[in-house]
Chain A
Amino acid sequence: MSLDSKTVARIATLARIRVPETDLPGLAQELSGIMTWIEQLNEVDTRGVQPMSGVLARDMPRRADVVNDGGDPQKVLANAPEPAHGFFTVPKVIE
């Protein structure tokens, strides 16, 4: 599978990674190489095999419906650059 510069630019936008225009062709080549390597998996016959969504053959652990966390806004906001009145703040998101 070969990725072009346009596709790589889109992937970068979705991942919120700033990539200079000049880096795109090199990245496209690199990612195409990785995809080609992964494509070797297509050689395996997976007909009738259920897709795997975890490596552990056990049930998902569950939690009882009790409140035993939260209540500490200072801790939650500790790493926030500019908290105000108990809120996180970010540059204005205009819809």
Chain B
Amino acid sequence: MNDTAMVNDKNLIEGKTGMWEVVLGLEVHAQIISNSKLFSGAATNFGAEPNTQVSLVDAAFPGMLPVINEKCVEQAVKTGLGLNAQINLRSVFDRKNYFYADLPAGYQISQYLDPIVGKGTIILDLPGGEHRAVGITRLHLEQDAGKSLHDQHPSKTYVDLNRAGVALMEIVSEPDMRCSDEAAAYLKKLRSILRYLGTCDGNMDEGSMRCDVNVSVRRPGDALGTRCEIKNVNSIRYVAAAIEHEARRQIEILEEGGSIRQETRLWDPGKGVTRSMRSKEEAHDYRYFPDPDLLPLNLDPKWVESLKAGLPELPDAKRQRFIKEFGLSDYDAGVLVAERESAAFYEAAAKGRDAKLTANWITSELFGKLNAAGKDVTESPVSAEAIGELIGLISDNTISGRIAKDVFAEMFETGRAAGEIVEAKGLRQVLDTGAIDAEIDKIMAANADKVAEYRGGKDKLLGFFVGQVMKAMGGKANPAMLNERLKAKLAG
């Protein structure tokens, strides 16, 4: 879990002169869910008319004083607790000085030496069912900057300060990741935890969760290489693409005898490359110092304890419970708990039903259809209870699993209940052996040649007979019963 962690061969990249290991650390800026800003009473809604959510504090008018929003402090502490991190009962706000048009004060109020949250851990759920711990270095509170629009005028940049002063949590990981899959898993898990906690909506499209990636490469077992920080990677897919590209770029330079310059690079999604941000070089002297407008932030340990006691069940705990309580596979449990809403949907549907069967239906049939329709589980036209009813009809043999798929498709289309569709269309499964035997006899009589072939050793023909009888019975024969009766009769 640090730079001497075991080297995993499957993560190595082959260059012209041998193998390389990629080392990754992530800095995530997560916008806190709050009504008003970190140090002012202006609103935080996304997409408002320009400069309509700006107080004179946010616009850095002379003489204005920042006053901290207690909800933002609570959100940061909750997030720290959700990341199993140390909560610092005393933290300090500093000024981070840099010059940019959308930073009216000429400094960002941030935290430097004494952040509100210290070391923590996040468990990655990797493809293939593997889990791996990644260290969190720190989480600190800071203000967001305003927004610059460069494409509205030929010679001007437009500045909107609505976002200026909105509370951010900067969450910094240890350089514990070794491939783009792990970086993607880190972002997914972090987003899931933030959404469970209700501290950030995790929306990368709207920029409420943004990611900078630190990338370096080295020969396996060597000390850490020089890193480059890649900014502006605003989807999980781009994070993976930017890492792949940047690692290749660094390996090429090193293999040609060059050296890596520590710098900030910008991901260009259009061209699929990273390029140097020269303007940032001079700016890297932030001259941090404690903000004289703000006193240290002291937290009451009892208050922290009460927040801890009030945390919701988080994804890792819920996954473990689903595995234990419902007998689900690690994979299915992981899929269901990724979003709090799908986990709740599943629990409501599985109540009093076959839990594993319910999980299969939700993860494959329902999620498949929702995906295709571009909807999430909260917009499902089929309620949890309605799926539960369908599962009940399968479990008590009223309908077969095959017919259930047709019933489900109709439920999804029309929103009608499973039982209603089954009755209206006469889809009840035929469990009467007499009726099944009668159909089998008819089909065998009509295909005497094939019966002879089957009996002559061509047992693949069983599928043909099953198909014919099913077709004749409108798919309503109980499959297990049909198979059994058919085999017996064909055996003669």
Are B148 and A93 in contact, with the CB atoms below 8 A? Answer: yes
Of B42, B56, B148, B296, which one neighbours A60 at CB under 8 angstroms?
A: B296
Residue of A nearest to B154 (CB): A92
Of A14, A65, A89, which one neighbours B156 at CB under 8 angstroms?
A: A89
CA distance A51 to B90 in the complex (A): 13
Bitwise, A12-54 to B at CB < 8 A (1) or not (0) is: 0110100000000000000000000000000000000001011
Are A67 and B43 in contact, with the CB atoms below 8 A? Answer: yes
CB-CB under 8 A for A69 and B71, given A76-B161, A87-B158, A93-B101: no
B478 at the A/B interface (Cβ < 8 Å)? no
Main secondary structure, interface of B, reads: loop
Chain A residues near B50 (CB, 8 Å)?
73, 85-87
Shortest beta-carbon distance, B92 to chain A, in Å? 5
CA distance A60 to B65 in the complex (A): 12
Residue of A nearest to B148 (CB): A93
Are A16 and B99 in contact, with the CB atoms below 8 A? Answer: yes
Are A93 and B69 in contact, with the CB atoms below 8 A? Answer: no
Are A84 and B43 in contact, with the CB atoms below 8 A? Answer: no
Are A88 and B159 in contact, with the CB atoms below 8 A? Answer: yes
Are B36 and A65 in contact, with the CB atoms below 8 A? Answer: yes
Are A66 and B156 in contact, with the CB atoms below 8 A? Answer: no
Of A60, A61, A63, A89, which one neighbours B159 at CB under 8 angstroms?
A: A89
B4 at the A/B interface (Cβ < 8 Å)? no
Count of chain B residues near A, Cβ 8 A: 56
CA distance A77 to B34 in the complex (A): 25
Of B34, B154, B297, which one neighbours A65 at CB under 8 angstroms?
A: B34
Chain A residues near B70 (CB, 8 Å)?
62-65
Chain A: residues with CB nearer than 8 A to chain B?
A: 10, 13-14, 16, 51, 53-54, 56, 58-71, 73, 75-77, 82, 84-95
CA distance A89 to B298 in the complex (A): 40
Chain A residues near B58 (CB, 8 Å)?
70
Chain B residues near A89 (CB, 8 Å)?
153, 156-159
Main secondary structure, interface of A, reads: loop
Chain B residues near A69 (CB, 8 Å)?
36, 40-42, 55-57
Are B279 and A95 in contact, with the CB atoms below 8 A? Answer: yes
Chain B: residues with CB nearer than 8 A to chain A?
A: 34-36, 40-43, 49-59, 67-73, 92, 97, 99-101, 148-150, 152-161, 266, 277, 279, 282, 285, 287, 290, 292, 294-298
Chain A residues near B158 (CB, 8 Å)?
84-85, 87-89
Task: List 9 A–B pairs whose Cβ atoms lie within 8 Å, in order of A's numbering.
Answer: A13-B282, A53-B92, A60-B298, A64-B69, A66-B41, A73-B52, A87-B158, A89-B156, A89-B159
Are A70 and B53 in contact, with the CB atoms below 8 A? Answer: yes
CA distance A95 to B149 in the complex (A): 12
Those 4 A-B pairs whose CB atoms lie nearest each other, nearest first: A70-B42, A65-B71, A69-B41, A53-B290
CA distance A36 to B382 in the complex (A): 76
Of A60, A67, A71, which one neighbours B297 at CB under 8 angstroms?
A: A60
CA distance A58 to B294 in the complex (A): 11
Residue from A54, A88, A89 with most neighbouring chain B CB atoms (10 Å): A88
CB-CB under 8 A for A14 and B36, given A60-B294, A88-B161: no
Residue from B158, B285, B294 with most neighbouring chain A CB atoms (10 Å): B158
Are A93 and B287 in contact, with the CB atoms below 8 A? Answer: no
Are A59 and B161 in contact, with the CB atoms below 8 A? Answer: no
Are B68 and A54 in contact, with the CB atoms below 8 A? Answer: no
Shortest beta-carbon distance, A23 to chain B, in Å? 21
Chain B residues near A93 (CB, 8 Å)?
100-101, 148, 150, 157
